[in-house]
Chain A
Amino acid sequence: MRFTIAWLKEHLETTAAVEEIAEVLTDIGLEVEEIVNPADRLQDFTLGRVLKAEKHPDADRLRVCDVETDRGVRQIICGAPNAREGITVVVAHSGTYVPGIDTTIQVGKIRGVESHGMMCSEREMELSDEHDGIIELPSGKVGERFVDWLAVNDPPKVDPVIEIAITPNRQDALGVEGIARDLAARGLGTRIERPIAPVPGTFESPIGVSIDKDTIDGNPYFVGRMIRGVRNGPSPAWLQQRLLAIGLRPISALVDITNFFTYDRNRPLHVFDADKVKGHLRVHRAEGGEQILALDQKTYAFEKGMMIIADERGPESIAGVMGGAETGVTGETANVFVESAYWDPVTIAHTGRRLKISSDARYRFERGVDPEFTLPGLEAATSMILEICGGEASRVVEDGAVPDTNRAYRLDPARCSSLVGMDIPAKDQRATLEALGFVIDGDMATPPSWRPDVRGEADLVEEVARMASLTNLEPRPMPRAAPGVPEPILTPLQRREQASRRMAAALGYCECVTYSFIDDASATLFGGGDEARRVANPISSEMTQMRPSLFPGLLQAAARNQARGFADLALFEVGAIFHGGEPEEFEILIAGIRVGATGPKDPHGEVREVDVFDARADAEAILAAVGAPARIQIGRGTNNWWHPVRSARITLGPKITLAAFGELHPKVLSRMEVKGPAVGFAIHLSAVPEPRAKGSTRTALQISDLQAVERDFAFVLDADVEAVNVVNAAAGADKSLIEEVRVFDEFAGGSLGDGKKSLAITVRLQPRERTLTDGQIDAVGKAIVEKVSKATGGVLRT
């Protein structure tokens, strides 16, 4: 909402400066977004008088002038045809910035003659497009500031424009009058009441109005009248200036008048060319499919239930949103029908949204204008039309009635201190509300008709508090919920997220935060891309699907970084993935990828390509960090974005999958434009079971003083025998004695022959009661070899 200070002063008597007005507006909830003060950049221009003007010796069109100024008599070269002796002019001294030519004036020579300044035209000061000559002022003293002269003699030229943001509840501040009311209630001045006198009609309006029964809820009240014999020329200068100042283009007197009341009183009106209206006007609901060419020269099709103002021919206006082109006023309009109606905000909002029309009328009606002002608005417009365009007004025609907005809420002065924490005397609270138009009767407050937003006691408190100024609010300590040391507040899952994040970072991964919505192709690669997870109104085709996995975002990040020249990466993310489109269908995961080599080449020769076992190590470290049990299993069978045989699941028993790790499928990598190798892991943080034991006590530590013994075994096996089977078989040979089995070597080929491999394990024996004898050790060794042979077909390598 924009307005000028001069416009405001039509409704508010105040001596407050612009800055003060702006500060108060922001403080009371009408936040100032911009102040444009034309005077700001004209501060340095002063008045001068031309004492002498002679032709330049070397240029026919230039004159050498002696100008009396606040800095003495100055010689100024001027090219304007009207530069002559005796006129009062506006001078820019050297050092003054002239906005219209974007130049700071310097002393210089023009065709060999010195010039000490400039005499300006209106265009050079961006006051208008006038550039036929320099300004000649009819009055003014030498040395006077030009802005001061303008303030007295031509105030609109230095009228500051203020733009405020309007919160959805403050439709009343969409009119200058409403803004003035707020400022007056704060004590920044006195409201100037502008009573509206009804204009008696002298004849019956040939155009009547009716509202269909089923439409009365959408259009409770409609008034109008014809004014005949008008002249619709350009509107007077003052009106044009008002509109121009707030960025509206003057069109014609009739249109400008309706725009004026839209901004002055938050009362949108519509004018029909009465000669183009066939028969009477009828407000009804659309069947659906009716069409109208609107004032913006676009054709709109009504949907069922939208409201139409129609005549015999058909729709002539999109009710409350935009008029029709067919019956719009023109320069030839001689008879005009003026409409003032109250429309249901919800219907207008719906219609405006469906038809995608933004208009000043829609903006106001959907927020709710003052229903009581429907008829006064028409009367005020009538007066102005008669004054500017002449003509003769008919009697008012109407249908429906002003809807009853009467309601009252209890004003409990104590509520203000309880809710806000400010102690404001009861009588001040009442005075504030009365200044805002509330009617106080005993302890009941009735809101004014222009405040449909006030819907309860808390709203009364809000009005009182904002007028008293929240800047005066003193902070008051909030006691602890319970005395003493606060309880821990994180849930187990939240702790896991934090632990997993910091563990991943400690393992060398950088944390990313990528968008939750991704492109359709990437989503499809990772098991998503369905209708349930589709965003209906994405802002880009890259953001259409709720991610089914964290990998697409990470791989895209990797591809971007590779394009920037970073080949070796470790990236991770902690966040939600979506299993479906319902609120509960999400899950928190941590996923990471390693791409390329373990690091840049180094002189120690330790760099190699990342592999599955890096990913597994990272997954296991993070699982340990989030408290997963140590006894995990490795299972085959992963989703199809993994390498089919170089990936695995980490499980707990047959049912719980804690994580997956492995190489990403080469096809996926190439689709995502990532240069491999790339390995990754994804951990289901909520799948990790809660520790069974309550309390912090650990189980007692059992250690033996007896020396442990380690023995190595190497087996020749078929190449596809999995190490885990060897380890499990060996461990089963003597469960009480064997503490640990570790794989320490694997190789294939060479003397072993095709299809064979050698796997070497270390078995650690921990005696509990007495030191092991050689016999005992040999016996366990034999048992191990037997078990492994039986389980895997392997033979001890000799």
Chain B
Amino acid sequence: MDELRTKYLGEIAGAADEVALERLRVAALGKKGEVSLRMRELGGMTPAERQVAGPALNALKDEINGAIAAKKAALEDASLDARLKEEWLDVTLPARQRARGSVHPVSQVTEEVTAVLADMGFAVAEGPQIESDWYNFDALNIPHHHPARTEMDTFYMAQAEGDNRSPHVLRTHTSPVQIRAMQERGSPLRVICPGRVYRADYDQTHTPMFHQVEGLAIDRDISMANLKWVLEEFFSAFFGTTVRTRFRASHFPFTEPSAEVDIQCSWEGGTVKVGEGEGWLEVLGSGMVHPKVLEAGGIDSSKWQGFAFGIGIDRLAMLKYGIPDLRAFFDSDLRWLRHYGFAPLDVPTLHGGLQ
């Protein structure tokens, strides 16, 4: 038995491949294999002999089986290793391309503004960009010959012959949406009105189209002090740092009293940093809605009052993200879009942060 054991274990260890292993298995354990033949002889033994030889043969059989299995695994590993070596690849080759899209800063900032103000209960109202003269001016207490009309550099639409209405305009602000919102929703009311606005001006810092967001809150006891709080909360959330504001008396036909609002900033090193330093940067016009404007919106000005403000979205984007040139916003230069644009899944939320 020891002979058999030595012979087979030795030959299994030396087997070159699976075919050789199989041949050894048949030679040892096949129907006519040496070990099988010895097992058959057990019948002719005395019980005493059998008790010794039986377990020994079984053990030998198990041992050979185990050795074959182990050798088989070892051979497989070796051949896999050899194959894997053959599969060498230059992994420094570039990856398959996945196009990288981007979201424009105007869209991103509009969503950021919306996220903050929605939390304070402001809904988003939108409206036409070609507006009637009434919605763009009269309803906002800018009568026909008010100097503000000319100062706004208004674009007018061509007029059909025989059309006796005042020509429609490209809205110079999103304030007409405030009037429409008042008419449609009544009071109390909290809305923001983001969108494109148009003024006939083109130079280093002006484009004939830009974006504005206006806010309007109407209730029974809303004051300018509330406006200041809302704006400071808004700017702090938007810029991600505490931002103080400074209110200065001003005049707009649609608000009374009116204030221009500066935000705290520093000018060090030629760049503006919001929320630090001792400087002030004018960013926004605001005030308490003029009673005539409330009336134009169908709201009883003896019972309701509120504030309104307006700020440039492009301007906010430039300040927050350090974008230098307004004109580039509308040029669609691929390099600009990729550099200043935002990843598709970078959705601004208050809980996830706006930075």
- Report A's interface with B, CB cutoff 8 A: 26-29, 31, 167-170, 345-346, 349-350, 353, 366-367, 417-422, 453, 456, 458-459, 461-462, 465-466, 469-471, 473-478, 480-482, 486, 489-491, 494, 498, 501-517, 531-540, 543, 546, 553-554, 557, 560-561, 564, 566, 569-571, 574-576, 578, 581-586, 598-600, 602-604, 606-607
Residues of A close to B144: CB separation below 8 A: 346
B63-103 Cβ-contact flags toward A at 8 Å (1 or 0): 00000000000000000000000000000011011111111
Interface bracket on B: 35 or more
B330 within 8 A of A: yes
Report the Cα distance A278→B228, complex, angstroms: 62
Given A167-B250, A458-B290, A462-B249; A560-B96 close (CB under 8 Å): no
B345 within 8 A of A: yes
| Least distance between B115 CB and chain A CB atoms (Å) | 10
Given A462-B257, A489-B124; A478-B222 close (CB under 8 Å): yes
Residues of B close to A557: CB separation below 8 A: 331-332
Point out the residue from B103, B170, B202, B229 that lies within 8 Å of A511, measured CB to CB: B103
Residues of B close to A473: CB separation below 8 A: 224-225, 228, 247
B140 within 8 A of A: no
Q: Are B208 and A543 neighbours in the complex by a CB distance under 8 Å?
A: yes
B144-155 Cβ-contact flags toward A at 8 Å (1 or 0): 111110110001
Q: Name the interface residues of B192-228: CB closer than 8 Å to any CB of A.
A: 196, 198, 200-202, 208-209, 217, 219, 221-226, 228
- 19 new A-B contacts at CB < 8 Å, known A478-B120, A537-B156, A578-B129: A168-B146, A168-B251, A419-B223, A422-B224, A459-B256, A461-B257, A470-B248, A475-B228, A476-B229, A481-B219, A494-B126, A504-B101, A505-B101, A513-B107, A513-B329, A516-B198, A570-B101, A576-B129, A586-B130
Which B-chain residue is minimally distant from A170 (CB atoms)? Answer: B251
Q: Which of B129, B249, B259, B341 has the most chain A CB within a 10 Å cutoff?
A: B249
Q: Are A582 and B124 neighbours in the complex by a CB distance under 8 Å?
A: no
Q: Are B118 and A169 neighbours in the complex by a CB distance under 8 Å?
A: no
Point out the residue from A494, A536, A602 that lies within 8 Å of B97, measured CB to CB: A602
- Report B's interface with A, CB cutoff 8 A: 93-94, 96-104, 106-107, 111, 114, 118-124, 126-132, 135, 144-148, 150-151, 155-160, 167-168, 170, 188, 190, 196, 198, 200-202, 208-209, 217, 219, 221-226, 228-230, 232, 246-253, 256-260, 288, 290-291, 305, 329-335, 337-338, 341, 343-345, 347
Q: Are A599 and B249 neighbours in the complex by a CB distance under 8 Å?
A: no
| Least distance between A356 CB and chain B CB atoms (Å) | 11
Residue contacts A-B, CB under 8 angstroms, 6 given = A27-B249, A349-B145, A486-B119, A512-B104, A512-B332, A576-B196
| Least distance between A9 CB and chain B CB atoms (Å) | 23
Q: Are B226 and A478 neighbours in the complex by a CB distance under 8 Å?
A: yes
Report the Cα distance A607→B99, complex, angstroms: 12
| Least distance between A514 CB and chain B CB atoms (Å) | 6
Which A-chain residue is minimally distant from B180 (CB atoms)? Answer: A583
Residues of A close to B198: CB separation below 8 A: 516
Given A169-B251, A421-B224, A475-B229; A508-B155 close (CB under 8 Å): no
Q: Are B122 and A516 neighbours in the complex by a CB distance under 8 Å?
A: no
| Least distance between B234 CB and chain A CB atoms (Å) | 11
Report the Cα distance A26→B250, complex, angstroms: 9
Residues of B close to A29: CB separation below 8 A: 248-251
Point out the residue from A26, A476, A491, A583 that lies within 8 Å of B223, measured CB to CB: A476
Q: Are B107 and A511 neighbours in the complex by a CB distance under 8 Å?
A: yes
| Least distance between B92 CB and chain A CB atoms (Å) | 11
Q: Are A513 and B104 neighbours in the complex by a CB distance under 8 Å?
A: yes
Q: Are A168 and B103 neighbours in the complex by a CB distance under 8 Å?
A: no
| Least distance between B343 CB and chain A CB atoms (Å) | 8
| Least distance between A782 CB and chain B CB atoms (Å) | 43
Q: Are A420 and B257 neighbours in the complex by a CB distance under 8 Å?
A: yes
Report the Cα distance A505→B103, complex, angstroms: 6
Residues of A close to B219: CB separation below 8 A: 481
Q: Are B230 and A498 neighbours in the complex by a CB distance under 8 Å?
A: no
| Least distance between B330 CB and chain A CB atoms (Å) | 6
| Least distance between A167 CB and chain B CB atoms (Å) | 4
Q: Are B226 and A419 neighbours in the complex by a CB distance under 8 Å?
A: no
